[in-house]
């Protein structure tokens, strides 16, 4: 029985999970750090409990504190969201030992897939193609050189425990190799507490294409098609779409079958993602499996019509999947843009702070998964994701048009955002033509950084709205009478704003 779920996360994903709980008639329990007292997930949940100080090591990563709140609140199950403890086998084990339900796969599956080298070995055994590479690198320098020559340069050194785009190093020739391995090992030790590294062939112009999997505890495994995630900056996804414009129907089906085989090989249960790299000749290779809900899951929900969080909870309740493979159709086209509080003009440095004004796009085919409201202070302690903007339309072309329209409507002031940057992605020829790979952002960087001609006017309007709002509050609070006497008006200030603002 699951009648109450504790959500061990924050931000947009906590809100997303709480929404499905409410729709299913399940009570939700939020946990929050001191920086999140007035966060949206705290407001939307049925109950909320303080976890600890702002740093995540003392709050969202504190297993003891989360378990004690679960007990206190009478929650039956814990949903980990993504990030934080979502791929921590110890967390899954501790939850089960406490007699509660972990909404996710077995600790064994998390463990097996959490280690890149172990996952590669398992996939090889299951007959799933993997990126050509080695197992753990030995100490012998000549041996390492021999292995790299066999694979062929360029090669990538990867940390077995790596993740989130970290722990990868590109090596172009033998000269860079040994020093690179040494550095990679010490970086891996510092970042992940595990210095195991291995070599992988560096694929040229690859696509990152991943498959959504849902599996129950009765041996049913279905795929919900692919997501094209090749629009990346520093190996991190920025825009995702489905279907992938790169796949042929035949390849789509072949990859789907391999994704199912991969999930079956670890007796997978719940929602998971099998990531592949596809080279320019359309050879595909297993990259890794993520044993949790992905950031980009809404585009899959949009084209298939299934609520993945609901399906996760049903599986955790030990119910069989409510749909079979034949029920899963890929209808129309969906795109997601990740909207961040960051400054593209200063190397995308995070831009936390007070959100003075926010107006999110609405209208036909638009979904925003966010958590930020006017007057909210985006904390500096966590990922600066503001929201995910998802659009759906019957065709890819119409979906791009819709995304451009939605981005045009999206206004946020107070913090810097990447809205203009993703707007430019929607205008870039390579993206519009569906002719792009993981180097798209690097290859189009100058174009993407040009000021956005589309947004100028509405930025002004948003500025004015925010400014008027601010002025009104100030006036109410302080010296409205004095301002009137001195003839100062909001509109005068707006005029001044125009003269001094380079928008
Ligand atoms: P992480 O687990 O840190 O997210 P991944 O192994 O999933 O790392 O890789 C992230 C991204 O790095 C991929 O989507 C791709 O752009 C790039 N990448 C990883 N491995 C290779 C490779 N062998 N060749 C080319 N690009 C790669």
- The CATH number assigned to the domain holding 38 equals 3.40.50.20
Domain range for 482 is 459-500
Protein residue closest via CA to atom 23 of ligand 1: 202
Ligand 1 centre distance from Cα of residue 165 (Å): 7
Contact by Cβ (8 Å): 333, 297: no
Residue 137 located in a structural domain: yes
Burial class of residue 492 in the structure, from the number of CB atoms within 10 Å of its CB (0-12 exposed, 13-18 middle, 19+ buried): exposed
Substitution candidate for ligand 1 out of 162, 232, 287 with most atoms within 8 A of CB: 287
φ, ψ of residue 185 to 5 degrees: the values are -65, -45
Position 360 in a domain: yes
Q: Are residues 182 and 238 in the same domain?
A: no
Question: Is the beta carbon of 156 within 6 A of some atom in ligand 1?
Answer: yes
| One domain, residues 298 and 364 | no
Last residue of a domain, one of 290, 313, 331: 331
Q: Phi and psi at residue 491, in whole multiples of 5°?
A: -65, -35
Are 289 and 272 in contact, with CB atoms under 8 Å apart? yes
pLDDT in tens, 65-100: 999 999 999 999 999 999 999 999 999 999 999 999
311 vs 12, 20, 216, 261, 432, CA distance in Å?
19, 10, 9, 20, 33
The residue that leads in pLDDT, 281 or 138, is: 281
Tell me what the mean pLDDT of segment 449-462 comes to: 59
Q: Is residue 123 part of a domain?
A: no
Quote the number of domains for the chain.
5
pLDDT tops 90 at residue 454: no
Among 156, 182, 201, residue at a domain's last position: 201
DSSP secondary structure, 142-157, as one string? HHHHHHHHHH-SSEEE
Q: Are 123 and 130 in contact (CB under 8 A)?
A: yes
**Do 83 and 142 fall into the same domain?**
no
Confidence check: pLDDT of 467 > 70: no
DSSP letter, residue 498? H
Ligand 1 pocket check for 235: Cβ under 6 Å: yes
317 and 298 together in one domain: yes
Number of neighbours of residue 140 by Cβ within 10 angstroms? 10
- Tokens 């119409």 correspond to 398
pLDDT value of residue 436: 98
Whether the CB of 202 sits within 6 Å of ligand 1: yes
> For tokens 């998964």, what's the residue?
369
Q: Which of 113, 235, 294 to mutate to test the pocket of ligand 1 (most atoms within 8 A of CB)?
A: 235
Task: Please tell me the pTM assigned to this model.
Answer: 0.90
Asked if 210 and 202 count as a contact pair (C-beta separation under 8 A), the reply is no
Mean pLDDT of 149-154: 96
Beta bridge partners of residue 441, listed in sequence order: none
Is residue 185 in a domain?
A: yes
pLDDT of residue 468: 57
pLDDT-wise least confident of 272-286, 305-319, 394-408, 467-481:
467-481
Mean pLDDT of 308-316: 98
User: Rounded to 5 degrees, what angle do the CA atoms 42, 44, 50 make?
Assistant: 20
Q: In the predicted model, what is the mean pLDDT of residues 186-214?
A: 95
Scanning the structure block, which residue is given the tokens 């000021």? 451
Average of per-residue pLDDT across 479-490? 42
Quick one: which atom of ligand 1 is closest to the CA of 164? Answer: 3
> What pLDDT does residue 456 have?
44
Q: Residue whose CA is closest, atom 21 of ligand 1?
A: 202
Q: For ligand 1, what atom is nearest to the CA of residue 133?
A: 23
What CATH number is associated with residue 447? 3.30.470.20
Q: Considering only CA atoms, which residue is closest to atom 22 of ligand 1?
A: 202
The answer to whether the CB of 438 is under 6 A from ligand 1 is yes
Q: Are residues 355 and 436 in the same domain?
A: yes
User: Does 412 fall in a domain?
Assistant: yes
Distance 330 CA to ligand 1 centre (A): 26
293 three-class SS: coil
Shared domain check, 480 and 410: no
CATH code of 180's domain: 3.30.1490.20
> Stretch 136-160: mean pLDDT, rounded?
93
Q: Is the CB of 91 under 6 A from ligand 1?
A: no
CA distances, 440 to each of 232, 447, 480 (Å): 8, 11, 52
Contacts of 126 (CB under 8 A, 6+ apart): 261, 262, 264, 265
Known catalytic residue at 292 = yes
327/213 same-domain check? yes
Residue 465 scores a pLDDT above 90: no
Atom of ligand 1 nearest to the CA of 285: 23
* Statement to judge: residues 352 and 373 lie in one domain: yes
H or E, element range at 278: strand 270-278
pLDDT at position 187 over 80: yes
CA 244 – CA 434 distance, rounded (Å): 8
CB-based contacts of 490, cutoff 8 Å, min separation 6: 467, 468, 471, 472
pLDDT for 471 equals: 59
Cis before 227 (ω within 30): no
**426 shares its domain with 463:** no
b/e map 37-58, b = 16+ CB within 10 Å: eebbbbebbebbbebbebebee
Is 112 within a domain? no
Q: Is residue 125 domain-resident?
A: no
CB 287 near ligand 1, within 6 Å: yes
pLDDT tens digit string along 5-59? 999 999 999 999 999 999 999 999 999 999 999 999 999 999 999 999 999 999 9
Q: Is 64 among the domain residues?
A: yes
What percentage of the chain has pLDDT greater than the value 70?
90
Domain boundary among 302, 331, 360: 331
Q: Which residue has the tokens 């501790």?
A: 94
pLDDT at position 384 is 97
Q: Report which protein residue has its CA nearest ligand 1's atom 14.
A: 208
Among the options 10, 16, 233, 292, which is catalytic? Answer: 292
Same domain, 418 and 443: yes
* Mutational pocket test of ligand 1: of 156, 229, 277, the residue with most ligand atoms within 8 Å of the beta carbon: 277
Residue 502 neighbours by CB under 8 Å, 6+ apart: none
Query: Are 430 and 326 found together in one domain?
Result: no
DSSP per residue, 71-132: HHHT-SEEE--SSTTTT-HHHHHHHHHTT-EESSS-HHHHHHHHSHHHHHHHHHHTT--B-S
Helix (H) or strand (E) holding 174: helix 174-192
pLDDT for the residue 502: 32
Task: Assess whether 430 and 492 both reside in one domain.
Answer: no
Query: How high is the pLDDT of residue 338?
Result: 98
Asked if residue 271 lies in contact with residue 297, where contact means CB atoms within 8 angstroms, the answer is yes
Q: What is the pLDDT of residue 166?
A: 83
């Amino acid at each position: 029985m699951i009648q109450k779920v504790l959500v061990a996360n924050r931000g947009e994903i906590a809100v997303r999970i709480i929404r499905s709980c409410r729709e299913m008639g399940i009570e939700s329990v939020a946990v929050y750090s001191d920086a999140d007292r007035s966060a949206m997930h705290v407001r939307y949940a049925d109950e909320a409990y303080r976890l600890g100080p702002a740093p995540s090591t003392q709050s969202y990563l504190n297993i003891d504190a989360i378990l004690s709140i679960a007990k206190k609140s009478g929650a039956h199950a814990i949903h980990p969201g993504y990030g934080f403890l979502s791929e921590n086998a110890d967390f899954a084990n501790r939850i089960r030992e406490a007699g509660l339900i972990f909404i996710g796969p077995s600790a064994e599956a998390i463990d097996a897939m959490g280690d890149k080298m172990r996952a590669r070995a398992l996939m090889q055994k299951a007959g799933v193609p993997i990126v050509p590479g080695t197992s753990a690198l030995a100490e012998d320098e000549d041996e390492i050189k021999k292995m790299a020559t066999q694979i062929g340069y360029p090669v990538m050194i990867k940390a077995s425990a790596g993740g989130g785009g970290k722990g990868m190093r590109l090596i172009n020739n033998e000269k860079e190799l040994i020093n690179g391995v040494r550095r990679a090992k010490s970086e891996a030790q510092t970042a992940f507490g595990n210095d195991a590294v291995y070599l992988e062939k560096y694929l040229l112009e690859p696509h990152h294409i991943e498959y959504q999997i849902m599996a129950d505890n009765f041996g049913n495994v279905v795929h919900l098609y692919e997501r094209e995630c090749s629009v990346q900056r520093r190996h991190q996804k920025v825009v995702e779409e489905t279907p992938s414009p790169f796949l042929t129907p035949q390849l789509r089906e072949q990859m789907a079958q391999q994704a199912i085989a991969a999930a079956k090989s670890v007796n997978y249960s719940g929602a998971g993602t099998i990531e592949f790299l596809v080279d320019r000749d359309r050879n595909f290779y297993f990259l890794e499996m993520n044993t949790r809900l992905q950031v980009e899951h809404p585009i899959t929900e949009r084209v298939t019509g299934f609520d993945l969080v609901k399906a996760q909870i049903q599986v955790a309740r030990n119910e069989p999947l409510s749909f079979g493979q034949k029920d899963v159709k890929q209808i129309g086209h969906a795109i997601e843009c990740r909207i961040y509080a960051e400054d593209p003009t200063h190397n995308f440095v995070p831009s936390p702070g007070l959100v003075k004004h926010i107006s999110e796009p609405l209208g036909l085919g638009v979904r925003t998964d966010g958590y930020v409201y006017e007057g909210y202070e985006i904390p500096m302690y966590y990922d600066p994701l503001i929201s995910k903007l998802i659009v759906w339309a019957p065709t890819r072309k119409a979906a791009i048009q819709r995304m451009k329209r939605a981005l045009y409507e999206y206004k946020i002031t107070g913090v810097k955002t990447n809205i203009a940057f993703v707007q430019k992605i929607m205008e870039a020829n390579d993206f519009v033509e569906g002719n792009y790979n993981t180097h798209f952002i690097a290859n189009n960087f100058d174009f993407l950084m040009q000021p956005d001609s589309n947004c100028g006017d509405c930025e002004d309007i948003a500025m004015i709205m925010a400014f008027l709002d601010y002025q009104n509050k100030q006036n109410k609070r302080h010296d409205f009478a004095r301002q009137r006497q001195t003839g100062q008006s909001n509109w005068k200030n707006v005029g001044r704003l125009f003269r001094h603002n380079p928008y």
